[in-house]
Amino acid sequence: MTLDSTLEKQQTANSKQQSFECFGLVVHGWKLNKILTLLETRAANREQTWVVTANPEILLYAKKHADYWQALRQAEVRCVDGFGLKIAGWWKSAQPDRCTGVELSDALVQFCLRNNWTLGLIGGRPEIADKAAWALRRRFPDLKVFAEDGGHVTLDGHLDDKADASLTRLIDIEPDVLLVAYGHPKQDYWISQHRQRFPRTKIIVGVGGTLDFWSETVKRAPNWVRAIGMEWLYRLFNEPWRWRRIWRAVVEFPLAVVFDK
């Protein structure tokens, strides 16, 4: 499924300037409110929407792996999560806004509460999904949330027995909103391969480390650090083992964008 007529009708002249192409994929530099309006409209029309919270690492991996590029192309929305991707939009003469996976996930929790929808969580490190679900229940006692550990998923999306059992249980529940937290590229392969098994699920989002933040296992950077686009430096300081990922996002990705143009 690709970007369809429903989405195209939502685009104004300004939103077209916010969207840009990166390595052949259209990235939608829309504000959170615009994305939420689109999701609500499509849900009312019984249209499922997959949102990729795109960042430099994800786009760089897609550039190098054609099968992953094809998987991302199936998503209806690819929003700007990483600050480096926002800079890439500027380089491409666009004016994108950021919509991070955490902000979008927080807003979808409110969607579920307002509409009496169910929320499904899967993935993350062992027990993280369950911890995140309990943290949400404490904050929102009326929230109907289901969590699955997710088991082990390979880089191309293949499941071990535990992951397969988690998937089966989620299919039985068929939540209205499904947040998948295997990290890229696993979560995107997983969504691409299994989304059709959730015909009643309205919104599916790959949310990366959101469950870590919700469970308070990982502390998010302060607002002012995120505002100036230096969250990567904060994470490097606190998680030095991430240096290879940060190198790709901060050095390799900008060079690839420049040479691609």
For 13-36, give the secondary structure using H, E and C: HHHHHHCEEECCEEEECCCHHHHH
The pLDDT score that the predictor gives to residue 224 is 52
Domain-wise residue ranges, the chain: 14-214
Q: How many angstroms separate the CA atoms of 139 and 23, rounded? A: 40
Q: What is the pLDDT of residue 15?
A: 46
- Taking only the tens place, the pLDDT of each residue in 194-209 is 999 999 999 999 998 8
Q: What is the pTM of this model?
A: 0.85
Residue 13: per-residue pLDDT: 43
Q: Enter the tokens of residue 218.
A: 């990982």
pLDDT, residue 125, reads 83
- pLDDT per residue as tens digits for the range 26-44: 999 999 999 999 999 999 9
| Amino acid 150: pLDDT | 84
Beta-carbon contacts of residue 255 (< 8 Å; ≥ 6 apart): none
Q: According to the model, what pLDDT value does residue 158 have?
A: 82
- What DSSP line would sit under the chain, residue for residue? --S-HHHHHH--HHHHHH-EEETTEEEB---HHHHHHHHHHHHHTT--EEEEEE-HHHHHHHHH-HHHHHHHHT-SEEEE-SHHHHHHHHHTT-------HHHHHHHHHHHHHHHT-EEEEEESSTTHHHHHHHHHHHH-TT-EEEEE----B-TT--B-HHHHHHHHHHHHH--SEEEEES-TTHHHHHHHHHGGG-TT--EEEE-TTHHHHHTTSSPPPPHHHHHTT-HHHHHHHH-GGGHHHHHIIIIIHHHHHHHH-
With a cut of 70, which residues of the chain have pLDDT below it? 1-16, 218-251, 254, 261
Given a contact cutoff of 8 angstroms between Cβ atoms, the answer to whether 116 and 66 are in contact is: no
Q: Which residues contact 127 (CB under 8 A, 6 or more apart)?
A: 149
Confirm if 249 and 61 have CB atoms less than 8 A apart: no
Q: What is the pLDDT of residue 64?
A: 92
